[in-house]
Amino acid sequence: MQEYSLVALPEDAGKRLDVFLADYSRQNDLGLSRQSLQKLILQGAVSLKHSGKLKAHYKIKSGDEIHLHIEEKKENTLEAEDIPLAVVYEDKDLAIIDKPIGLVVHPAPGNYTHTLVNALLHRFTQLSDINPQRPGIVHRLDKDTSGLLVIAKNNSAHLNLAKQFAEHSILRKYVALVKGEVKFNEDVIELPIGRHPVKRKSMAVGFSEEAKFAKTRYRTLKRTKDISLLELEPFTGRTHQLRVHLSFLGHPILGDTKYGKDNSFPRLALHAKYLGFIHPSTHKFIDFSSETPQEFLIIFK
pLDDT in tens, the chain (301 residues): 678 888 888 888 999 999 999 888 887 777 788 888 998 999 888 998 767 788 999 999 988 889 888 876 555 688 999 999 999 999 999 999 999 999 999 887 667 799 999 999 999 999 999 888 899 999 999 999 999 999 999 999 999 999 999 899 999 999 999 999 999 999 999 999 998 988 878 999 998 888 999 999 999 999 999 999 999 999 998 999 999 999 999 999 999 999 998 778 999 999 999 999 999 999 999 999 999 999 999 989 8
Question: Three-class SS of residue 289?
Answer: strand
- Say how far apart CA 202 and CA 15 lie, in whole Å: 21
Q: Is 175:189 a contact under the CB 8 Å cutoff?
A: no
**Domain end marker among 44, 70, 96:** 70
127 occurs within a structural domain = yes
46 and 99 fall within a common domain: no
102 and 28 fall within a common domain: no
CATH number at residue 41: 3.10.290.10
Output the pTM of the full model. Answer: 0.76
185 and 267 fall within a common domain: yes
Which range of residues forms the domain containing residue 215? Answer: 173-272
For the chain, strand residue ranges (E) read: 2-7, 46-48, 65-70, 87-90, 94-99, 146-152, 171-179, 186-190, 193-195, 203-205, 215-223, 227-234, 270-278, 285-289
190 and 160 fall within a common domain: no
Domain count, the chain: 3
119 and 180 fall within a common domain: no
**Domain end marker among 149, 167, 185:** 167
38 occurs within a structural domain = yes
280 occurs within a structural domain = no
Q: Which residue numbers are catalytic?
A: 142
Question: Which residues share a beta bridge with 289?
Answer: 274
CATH number at residue 230: 3.30.2350.10
**Domain end marker among 143, 167, 191:** 167
66 and 99 fall within a common domain: no
260 to each of 113, 232, 243, how far by Cα in Å? 29, 18, 9
